[in-house]
């Protein structure tokens, strides 16, 4: 799989594998993972023990369809995932940057979730 990727994607995949060796979410403290493409942002909160998604937000949803993958949209997506988590009484998560550098959109999602009251 890594042979068919570009150098940039190959580096991201290596970082992702290295991070996922250490990051593991439970029902008490689930894993919040961020995916970004050139056009969209997606955030999922995952319980790795039960292998289930507890909450998710994406710019592909009806309410956020006008947002794109930029910092201001990342902040809004982060605030929304924070609200959805607090509705389910989840206040602490483990942040999984999914191999992306903690900069720009990924950092904005984290800041938005912190602004909503989620701790990590």
Q: Where are the domains of the chain?
A: 2-116
Q: Taking the C-alpha atoms of 52, 57, 61 and 67 in order, what is their torsion angle to the nearest 10 degrees?
A: -160
Per-residue pLDDT tens for 30-83?
999 999 999 999 999 999 999 999 999 999 999 999 999 999 999 999 999 999
Per-residue pLDDT tens for 36-47?
999 999 999 999
In DSSP terms, 57 is beta-bridged to 43
Q: How many other CB atoms are there within 10 angstroms of residue 62's CB atom?
A: 5
Interatomic CA distance for residues 102 and 38, integer angstroms: 16
Instruction: Write down the pTM of the prediction.
Output: 0.85
Q: Which fold has domain 2-116?
A: Nucleotidyltransferase; domain 5 (3.30.420)
């Amino acid at each position: 799989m890594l042979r068919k990727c570009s150098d940039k994607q190959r580096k991201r995949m290596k970082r992702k594998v290295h991070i996922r060796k250490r990051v593991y979410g439970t029902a008490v403290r689930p894993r919040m993972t961020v995916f970004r493409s050139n056009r969209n942002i997606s955030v999922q909160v995952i319980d790795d023990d039960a292998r289930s998604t507890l909450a998710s937000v994406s710019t592909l949803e009806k309410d956020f369809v006008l947002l794109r993958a930029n910092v201001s949209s990342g902040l809004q997506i982060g605030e929304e995932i924070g609200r959805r988590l607090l509705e389910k009484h989840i206040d602490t998560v483990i942040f999984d940057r999914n191999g992306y550098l903690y900069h720009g959109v990924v950092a904005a999602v984290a800041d938005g979730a912190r602004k909503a009251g989620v701790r990590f």
